[in-house]
Amino acid sequence: MNYDAIVIGAGANGLVTAHYLARAGKRVLVVEQRHAPDPSADIGWVPNAIIRDLGLSGGGLRIEEPDPWITAPLPAGGTLELSRDIGRSAEAIGRISPADAAQWPEFCKRMRTLAGVLERLYLVPPPDIESHNARELARIAGLGLYVRRLGKQTVIDLARILPMSIAELLDDWFESDVLKGLLGALGVWHLKQGPRSGGTAFNFLHHLAGSPAGVFRPPRSNVTQTLEGMKRVEVRRGNRATVLAKNGRASGVVLDKSGDTILAPLVVSSADPRATLDPVAIELDPEFARAVDNIKARGVVARGTLTLDGAPSYANLCVAPSLEYLERAYDDAKYGRDSAAPYVEVQRTDGNRLELHVQYVPYTDGTANVQRHQALQQKVAQLLSAQPGQVRLQSPDEDEIQRGATEGHLYHGELTLDQILFMRPVPGWSRYRTPIAGLFLCGSGTHPGGGIPGAAGRNAAREIP
């Protein structure tokens, strides 16, 4: 069977690209190594443009927006619950810190404004700073004018906050350790950095994109399952695909298990850039290949589940009691150790089954041992007042094997200031193209990065001729 395009990876970005290409009249095959969709991947803002263009609302798309959106244990007992309503959250904060409650509305407003600037950047390809094209220069100038119209305070906030550490930002605003801990945790999501590392305030704002004011956790959805269920494109699961390239041009893929070769003049990969390009490194310029190999993708998150005997007494629980707690948790990972006191978050509750985010659990290049893994599970169970046998975790090493992502990093590259916008995945190649003709990238390793399901896929599809 002849295909006009082959897309590697049936995650949200790959499927979004595939659907846009199919809408343009191309016959598209999607090849995925996993046997079933992974709904745990769909955490983040799904842009309205994608929902509208691909008709996802009519396809069964569900977006979860829990209220309260986070619960944090208090040292003296009880919990702090933050609501989607700014006023109710301020009331809850006021019981532990009246000063912080007074600051809360203004903090929510200013962070939402900054996240809105990022949203505008994320819905289009990254700016081309080397371009002399009048249209591109006008687009860049238009963004600057948009920011200026938001007012002097927004201009100051952008220049000051983006390179800050999340700890510095929160120390400026609040006094409560509990409040700063649960907000600071978002700043270190999927980073092998602590809250006092520069640039973590940007990571915090990145994950606010698409969220309403006063909500500092991204939504969750079934966008991947919805896209696959729409049957506009053919999806073939159970095989890892390697790009077939010769003389600087891609011509299809080779499937690992069957050995089949499938030809197409266009190949688009939503996989990790390093995993996509390393097998065809002989076709690449050595400097480009070196830049790809140097992408920071240091896996540091274990994903897992907690299965209780009955319904949980809490939802969306965050165990990160202070910025100091987060920094000490990072200290262990810095030296290659699982955190002795990890940051743990319950990201979703389905009956008596809770899905967990556990950080810091560093990638170990396959050297993790069973005893270490069990010790971590026991610690997580203790933090959640559960039995050790009720917790099951999957380390970054296991994610690397199952997903093919370098070091098990779910975002295919850390969201640090040197790896965003026109520097993602590497400087000079941010517009989804590669040096191999006919081979494009569309995954989380490209602009705008992970945590925004489908945005990179949409941007890439619009750049593909």
Q: Which two tokens stand for residue 433?
A: 């193209």
12 and 127 in a single domain? The answer is: no
385 and 452 in a single domain? The answer is: no
75 lies in a domain? no
432 and 376 in a single domain? The answer is: no
Domain that holds residue 122: 81-215
Q: Which two tokens stand for residue 127?
A: 């700016």
User: Which domain-ending residue is among 366, 389, 408?
Assistant: 408
211 and 110 in a single domain? The answer is: yes
Domain count, the chain: 3
68 lies in a domain? no
16 lies in a domain? yes
290 and 396 in a single domain? The answer is: no
Q: How far apart are CA 42 and CA 219, in angstroms?
A: 9
71 lies in a domain? no
User: Which domain-ending residue is among 192, 215, 238?
Assistant: 215
User: Which domain-ending residue is among 377, 392, 408?
Assistant: 408
198 and 95 in a single domain? The answer is: yes
pLDDT tens-place values along the chain, 465 residues long: 689 999 999 999 999 999 999 999 999 999 999 887 775 668 999 999 999 999 999 889 999 999 999 999 999 889 999 999 999 999 999 999 999 999 999 999 999 999 999 999 999 998 887 777 888 778 878 878 888 888 899 999 999 999 999 999 999 999 999 999 999 999 999 999 999 999 999 999 999 999 999 999 999 999 999 999 998 899 999 989 999 999 999 999 999 878 899 999 999 999 999 999 999 988 999 999 999 999 999 999 999 888 888 878 777 899 999 999 999 999 999 998 899 999 999 988 878 888 999 999 999 876 656 567 788 888 998 998 888 788 888 888 888 877 778 898 999 999 999 999 999 999 989 999 999 999 999 999 999 999 999 999 999 999 998
290 and 424 in a single domain? The answer is: yes
423 and 291 in a single domain? The answer is: yes
119 and 240 in a single domain? The answer is: no
The answer to whether the peptide bond before residue 360 is cis (omega within 30 degrees of 0) is yes
286 and 427 in a single domain? The answer is: yes
426 lies in a domain? yes
Q: Can you give the three-state secondary structure of 70-136, one letter per residue?
A: EEEECCCCCEEEECCCHHHHHHHHHCCCHHHHHHHHHHHHHHHHHHHHHHHHHCCCCCCCCCCCHHH
Nearest in space to 345 (alpha carbons), one of 329, 368, 332, 333 = 329
152 and 264 in a single domain? The answer is: no
148 lies in a domain? yes
Question: Which CATH number goes with the domain that contains 254?
Answer: 3.50.50.60
DSSP code for 386 = -
Query: Is the model's pTM score more than 0.85?
Result: yes
DSSP code for 437 = B
320 and 361 in a single domain? The answer is: yes
454 lies in a domain? yes
CA dihedral 375, 376, 379, 383 (to 10 degrees): -170
The phi, psi pair for 391, rounded to 5°, reads -105, 130
Q: Which two tokens stand for residue 196?
A: 């006092």
DSSP code for 39 = G
Query: Quick check: 31 and 264 in contact, CB under 8 A?
Result: no
76 lies in a domain? no
Give the type of residue at 257.
K
Q: Largest Cα–Cα distance in the chain?
A: 67
